[in-house]
Amino acid sequence: MQTRLNNQIHITKQDVLAEQQRLRKSLRRQRLSLSIHIRRRAEQAVVRQMRRQPNFVNAQRVGLYLDAFGEVPTGALIQLCFKLRKAVYLPVVRSVNQPLSWSRITRHQWQNQRMIKHRFGMKQPLMQRGVSVKVLDCLFMPLVGFDLNGYRLGMGGGFYDRTLASCSTTGKEQTKPWRIGIAYDFQRVDSLHSNHWDISLHAIVTQSGYRRFQS
């Protein structure tokens, strides 16, 4: 509910949550409507962009995710990591209220799709022992929306917020891991509400380019 104080509109927490849910629903619906052809083109464009980015090229330990809900596919980027002899880590959900842990996968495990599906519908490695996000040099993050301040709108589970809270104070002060969002261009929104605990992205990569946010 909005209230008016001294002729100014006061936005309540409920208003913010309602707007976030509206955005999630709209952007997810648009994302799911994309054809396989469009998704594959975006996947290849992201790989071309990342080949030129020092924060990725110089990274030894890279955290990625497996697309499951219409996100830009990450398979080609994972293959590029193996080609460049990088260590690839995928997120493991241990429980709802715990940070994600990161399990290293080999090229063989990836090629044979030795994965299981967890309760939220995403695949994760069979080997569920993992390391802290602090070990990673570069972290690619899924998102539903993003703004030009580097803030991301996630699925609403808070997994990445809890995970990154262990390695940073606020904003972009923590440079490791280097945080890159992967998105389609249409997922950009004018502005997202941020909280003091939010840890923003260092950069975003879409099918049309790579953008580094100011710290």
pLDDT score of 10: 58
Distances (CA, A) of 126 to 102, 104, 129: 12, 10, 9
Residues of the chain with pLDDT under 70: 1-11, 127-128, 168-175, 197, 215
Distance CA(192)–CA(147), nearest Å, equals 6
pTM exceeds 0.75, yes or no: yes
pLDDT score of 128: 64
Query: What helix, strand, coil percent values describe the chain, rounded to 5?
Result: 30, 25, 45
Q: In order of start, what are the domains of the chain with their CATH numbers?
A: 3-212 (3.40.50.10420)
CB 182 within 8 A of CB 142: yes
Single-letter residue type at 119 = R
pLDDT score of 172: 47
pLDDT score of 6: 43
Going along 46-177, which residue ranges are E strands?
61-63, 87-92, 101-105, 115-117, 123-125, 138-141, 145-146, 152-153
Distance CA(150)–CA(96), nearest Å, equals 25
| Backbone phi and psi for residue 182, each to the nearest 5 degrees, phi listed first | -115, 130
